[in-house]
Chain A
Amino acid sequence: MSKLAVVSSATVLGVEGRAVRVEVHVGQGLPAFTIVGLPDAACREARDRVRAAIATSGLSWPLQRITVNLAPSSLRKVGGGLDLAIAIGVLVADDKVGAAAVTGMGFVGELGLDGTVQPVAGTVPLVDALDADVVVVARDSAEEARLVDRHVVRPVSTLTELVKALKGEEPWPEHPRPASPPGPPPVPDLTDVRGQPVARHALELAAAGGHNLLFVGPPGAGKTMLAQRLPGILPPLTPEEALLTTRVHSAAGLIRPGFGLVAAPPFRAPHHSSSMVSLVGGGTATMRPGELSLAAGGVLFLDELGEFQPSALDALRQPIEEGCVRVSRARATITLPARFLLVAAMNPCPCGQGGPGECTCTDTARLRYRRRLSAPLLDRFDLRVDVARPDVDELLRGRGGEPSATVRERVLAARARAAARGVTSNARLPAERLETEAPLTPGALTMIETSLRQGRLSARGLARIRRVALTVADLAGLEGPLRAEEIGQALALRQDPMPLDRAVA
């Protein structure tokens, strides 16, 4: 006499969920409990958790030969999210719960030994992968699960609760939604920044045009403080972007219980000791998204750019161009989102003083420091700005600067003009459309020609200059061809911050 049950659940890979069919067979033979179908260590341990949870929930464990198959068997199953489905499968196969009660239902959750249902990382992609009308999740995952908005979400806190509901003995537990989900922590405001007009302006340009930004300045000049204020002037995420960002954060297990959608542009600031894998992602069996993906839709801030491993920095180049990371590992090849605004900060040289005649570094030290920043990476920064220590007078007595809200309005207006060109930001305007979208006045043309002839501008930099100049014009609300003023600004903000040599005349 043997019985079979089939329950749906899911596992996560990268930022995508994959549906998993949990087949449980309870049949004749010596009592045993095996899980097959490529489970990882945490998944194989489900045996012990499920058995203990069923026992402590006051249900009997069938003393028969139990085989759990996780299909498709080619897909690696990771983590404890399948616990709940396995437990329900065992109960159905053992006739404790009717098979009809679980049809059209999906289960996502980890079990504690005491029968509690625990939330798991990646609830959003997991639930999204479920082809079911009703999904059962842990109580703390309910907000995340509801974001998918395709299913009836049934939050449960214990296995007992779930079994009683499935049997129809008790109604589904009502877990009131948190009255007001605690809002995101307030984003720091630009009004705190005193002086530093050029750096402020560069932030605004970066936000409006999606241009990557490099701050160069001595320690304590406020590079980090400035960068932290960038998310506050970025346009809000669109619903699709917000869902994507939430999905990434969910897959990385970064959504705190009770918090739902990640609606504000994220700000990620990985430490300079971060490995390439932690930045790019795909380091674990779940191919967990890295910092690049977590910053998608928001800002990736790399402080002390020169201190990052060269391999980690080189790995940034393809995502910056393509807006996604393709990670190939032994187990799988996945694509992770990575459309972020890159902001980096570094000292002008090891001693940090930088100015002509001020620096005390040896020549070799300067050279070595400069070489850490490869030319292809530097090229991807459209805006390179010197940040000096703010003037003491300004710091103590100066009035606060323009608040973020005002700046953000201008940014939104500029983005609207970019949208009218059919792109989300000017940085993504294809080079071939620059002639029509960003024509030049004769004065601007002369300036570009002089700069090209004097070697202060490269052909490669030309397209980038025009995009930045277009953003300058958009922010100022200017119409018509770009003037020398806009081109001049774009040029002034794109200088090599640390030329390798002071050439001998």
Chain B
Amino acid sequence: MSPPSLPGAAWLTALAGLPKMGPARLLAISLVYEPAEAWQAVATGQVLRRPELVERMGPSPQVVAEGWQRAAARVDVEATWADHADISVAARGDAAYPAALVDDLEPPAVVFTRGAPVLDGTPRVAVVGTRRCTRYGFDVAGELGRELAAAGMQVVSGLALGIDGAAHQGALDAAAAPPVAVVGSGVDVVYPQRHRRLWEQIAAAGSILSECPLGTPPEAWRFPARNRIIAALADAVVVVESAGSGGSMYTVEEALARDRPVLAVPGSVQSRASAGTNKLLAEGAGVVRDANDVLAAMGLPQRPRRRARKDAAPRAGPAGAVLRALRAGPGTLDSLTSATGLALGPLSVAVAELEAAGWVSRHGLWLERTKPAR
């Protein structure tokens, strides 16, 4: 047996790596036993003698307990602990455990952090949304991330494709308050692969948090659980774009359960990607037009509004007609031909010019209205 000199976090790390060990079960076990005892109890199957644990172990506790016992027999706690030497592992009650999670409704029993620890006393804003966003959502998320970080907010998100990634990237670009990513896999398991670079940048500039030990693969059930940590960490939750149902809506529920203000970015009523956010607004969520709206909702001083730049977007001629037609949402050449009444020749020249100037961006055969980069 391993020497009892190991810290509590080591036992919890080993426990968290067992199959079918969700956050709720791990928390329950950690509340009943001391960490080292907990491992002992799980490894010997004694957990079945505690009715308060059995009721959390699903319809067939016997099977779950046996699975734990079998898996535990193959785990070398000391070696597992040694593997985690390079990252910060904090059990609930440790000094390194994020203060915002200590008194949470469902606090993770143990938190793994890569990069800097989450700052205490710095306000945090979650910027979340769908993976399948429109250009509009992508741009707004990036801008919010940038401005909120510049205003000293830690931007919290889930490192997913789409809105999450854009928000993180914006926060990184501001090079101000460090971003916080909460992920559903081990902090060493990059998911999605396309965010490998972003992942490394956040680890270097901010923190990547997870309640899963190293090497945990990204399983679908872990993502809603991850979302509750996002909601718990954040002082306010901003949804940029979301369909009527999905992960972001789960984050919203978790935020409401924790009395965190929920804000949403309005979108076109015809856009499916804004169906969820518009619904939130209809139900009374705060409106987010820019970072100042978020700061106001949190009762923080607003940043001086940048003087409204004169919108230099072309208004006249074919280019203006194209931009007006794209106001309602993305379009194709075909839809633009009928919306603007232009012939294909002048239309394509206008599109090419707008694209070159950054007023229009292309997604496959679709065109979307954007704002030129500053």
Contact = CB atoms under 8 A, between A and B. Distances in A.
Nearest to B192: A363
Interface in A40-94: none
Given A388-B334, A489-B348, A363 B356 contact: no
Contact of B335 (A388, A456, A486, A501): A388
A49 to B, nearest CB: 58
Interface in A361-414: 363, 384-388, 391
Contacts of B161: 363, 502
A501 B337 CA distance: 27
A199 B351 CA distance: 17
A199 B335 CA distance: 11
Contacts of B14: none
Given A356-B135, A502-B363, A492 B348 contact: yes
A176 interface: no
Interface string B121-152: 00000000011111101100010000000000
A504 interface: yes
A495 B330 contact: no
Contact of A355 (B169, B330, B344): B330
A462 interface: no
B332 interface: yes
Interface string A478-505: 0000001110110111011111011011
Contact of B334 (A199, A447, A491, A496): A199
B36 interface: no
A317 interface: no
A354 B169 contact: no
B192 A356 contact: no
A356 B274 CA distance: 11
Say what secondary structure dominates the interface of chain A: loop
A197 interface: yes
A323 to B, nearest CB: 29
A358 B272 contact: yes
Question: Chain A: interface residue count, which band?
Answer: 35 or more
B339 to A, nearest CB: 11
Contacts of A505: 138, 142, 166, 169-170
B362 interface: yes
A450 B353 CA distance: 9
A458 interface: no
A196 B336 CA distance: 11
Contact of B273 (A348, A356, A388, A502): A356
A497 B345 contact: no
A485 B349 contact: yes
Contacts of A472: 345
B356 A197 contact: no
A387 to B, nearest CB: 7
B204 interface: no
Contacts of A491: 348, 352
Contact of A488 (B162, B192, B337, B351): B351
A121 B198 CA distance: 64
Contacts of A311: none
Contacts of A216: 364-365
Contact of B344 (A197, A354, A357, A496): A197
Contact of A357 (B132, B166, B351, B364): B132
B346 to A, nearest CB: 7
Given A197-B338, A357-B241, A357-B273, A447 B352 contact: yes
A222 B363 CA distance: 22
B344 A356 contact: no
A488 B355 CA distance: 11
A357 to B, nearest CB: 3
A356 B330 contact: yes
A121 B14 CA distance: 75
Nearest to A453: B356
A149 B170 CA distance: 76
Given A357-B274, A485-B348, A493-B348, 6 more contacts: A358-B272, A385-B365, A488-B351, A502-B161, A502-B363, A505-B170
Which 5 interchain pairs have the tightest Cβ spacing? A357-B273, A386-B365, A492-B348, A485-B345, A488-B348
